[in-house]
Structure 1
């Protein structure tokens, strides 16, 4: 059994995957590292599982993950939130000597105070924190990178700055998924390991959009005392101006029957793409 994550070893995704496994009964599982979101997603098949970042405390939701979930046949089986911290490394002795800085696309949004303090520096966006580190190590004089704090212990460079994120209490939430479509009826028979659940889904209105559509969708939840913890809109991409809504619903074990009864009602009027139902 493989566990596909953003790699190589030492990434925040790697740390989240290892933290998740500590509380799970999986045995004989090996890590399968990939450099991009797409490669992680494509690598998961059969009984394998995968992990992708979903939300950062400072920079919000990861659109690259949401866009895949929007049309993906996956079942989310859990989530893991871990603290994340970043450091700056450079092969110069002063900040004003930095000419170019490598930073992962989500990391950039979490370290704005530092980056805006260097307006003349060229920011080069990368697809992963480990690629930022690799490009820095293979770079030229004047290069710098923002990397995970955990990676700094093994480096020896002229300039190092610890904890450069905009807040000290930063964290990222990851989802764990399998490559099979979430089945509403099968999940409705699932027994939770804890008293609390989360159910992520996409709801897409019909092409005959009208005023009050979102109000109507949320009314299903409010009428049944189901707690909405997340709402995001994403374009459906088949037509300009048409959006689907990403929702996360939370509740207690006693609300399981109410949740699935409500989702069945919603499917009669909207396209409901359920992504999972799991204990939190």
Structure 2
């Protein structure tokens, strides 16, 4: 205790008489180690990467982190630059954790909806300095983070409620799957469905409920068919128990601070007719 008191008096005297330059001669420079990054998504398009540092204080007295400057580059694009004035106290002869959260919007990173859809990873470079006591300690780290997927869309089944030589009453059962830990709010679904290469229906689905985290949402689209108007080739599609399908169109999202954007999709597969 007595040694710490003497040490504190000496430091106070150095600051008063000589300033920070003298103080740097009296105390050892803390060490900064980058511990990693965790990505906290708050929505499909907004995320908060949290960069974690360990500050090691070798001195016999506590020391404070008083400022963090940062320059975040994503995909070689100079993106976010700023200063965080957070206060963190590191105990004597100890270490502490410093977390630096930086929020951003994916659509400020990617030039187009197609580029966003086609990317599963993004590379980042974070650099800056951490003000600890009288020191300004530089840091730099490179890494990558995942880019979230749009909800997966598929045609799960075609339900036939009635079928005759004149026509049919059918329901297309679409499924939206969200495998993320946050809900996805889809504004509008613009769709077109083909069965065995034949156009069956086009339309726009609105008032879609949010797809909850790690869940699925089903959309039912009814259709009345008249075989006399459409021809016998359409009738022949329903003679089998399944058909090849093509589901295309676009998903529309209202992106915070960006506005409305359309994201195209194309899904092909086999669907049961029942």
TM-score class normalised by the smaller sequence: under 0.3
Higher helix share: 1
TM-score, normalised to structure 1's length? Answer: 0.22
TM-score, normalised to structure 2's length? Answer: 0.22
Higher relative contact order (CA 8 A, sep 6+): 1
